[in-house]
Amino acid sequence: MKIAIASDHGGVELKKNIINFLQNQNLEVADMSPVNDGLDDYPNFAEIVVKELAEKRADWGILICGTGIGISIAANRHKGIRAAILYDNFTAESAKVHNNANIVVFGGRTMTAEQAIERLKIFMNSRYEGGRHEQRLCKLDK
Ligand code: RB5
C-alpha cells in the first residue's frame, strides 16, 4: 500500500508531520514535493500526485496547500479522482464510507497537525460502503 503525498509552500510543515506519522505506521510514503520555494503553484503538485495514481505507482494520495481548497479543485478536474478535504472527524469518515476518496486533502493554515492526523486515522480505519454510493460515484466520471 503506497501513498503519494505533496504540498505547496502552504503545507510544508503539516506534510512533514503527516509523513512522520505514516512512516511510524510502517506505511510506504513517497514525498512528491521534496522542495518548496514559496513561489510554487498548487496545481503542479495536484498533477504530480494524480499522475502517480493514474500510472499506478501509488494506491492513494494526500495533498496539502494553505487551505486545501485550491489543490482539491485542481485534483478533482482529473477523471477518476475523488479528492476530499477532511475538515472534521465526521467528514474524515464520510470521505471513505460514502465517497471512497482516493486523495485526502488538508489545509496547512486551517488545521493543526494533531487534527489532520486524527482525521487521517479515521479515514484509514473506515471502509467504503458501496451499494447506493457506487451508483453515485459512477455518475461522477460520465
Ligand atoms: C498559497 O499562498 C495559497 O493560495 C494556497 O496554498 C492555497 O491555500 C490555495 O487554495
Q: What is the mean pLDDT of the chain?
A: 97
- Cell representation of residue 61: 494520495
Distance 44 CA to ligand 1 centre (A): 12
Res. 132 pLDDT band, cuts 50 70 90: very high
Q: Give phi and psi for 38, each to the nearest 5.
A: 85, -10
Whose Cα sits closest to atom 5 in ligand 1? 66
Respond yes or no: is residue 78 known to be catalytic: no
Range of the domain at 79: 2-140
Tens digit of each residue's pLDDT (9 = 90 or more) over 1-27: 899 999 999 999 999 999 999 999 999
Query: Measured from the CB, is residue 86 less than 6 Å from ligand 1?
Result: no
C-alpha 81 to ligand 1 mean position (Å): 20
Q: Give the 3-state DSSP-derived string for the chain, with helices as H, strands as E and coil as C.
A: CEEEEEECHHHHHHHHHHHHHHHHCCCEEEECCCCCCCCCCHHHHHHHHHHHHHCCCCCEEEEEECCCHHHHHHHHCCCCCCEEECCCHHHHHHHHHCCCCCEEEEECCCCCHHHHHHHHHHHHCCCCCCCHHHHHHHHHCC
The residue nearest atom 6 of ligand 1, judged by CA position, is 66
Atom of ligand 1 nearest to the CA of 11: 6
- The yes-or-no verdict on residue 39 having pLDDT over 80 is no
CA of 129 to the centre of ligand 1 (A): 33
pLDDT given for residue 36 in this prediction:
82
Q: For position 35, which CATH number holds? A: 3.40.1400.10
Q: Encode pLDDT of 52-101 as tens digits.
A: 999 999 999 999 999 999 999 999 999 999 999 999 999 999 999 999 99
In the chain, how many domains are there?
1
| Ligand 1 in reach of 67 Cβ (< 6 A) | yes
Instruction: Note the pTM of the prediction, 2 decimals.
Output: 0.97
Query: So what's the pLDDT on residue 95?
Result: 98
Q: Give the Å distances, CA to CA, from 136 to 49, 81, 99, 100, 131.
A: 24, 14, 9, 11, 9
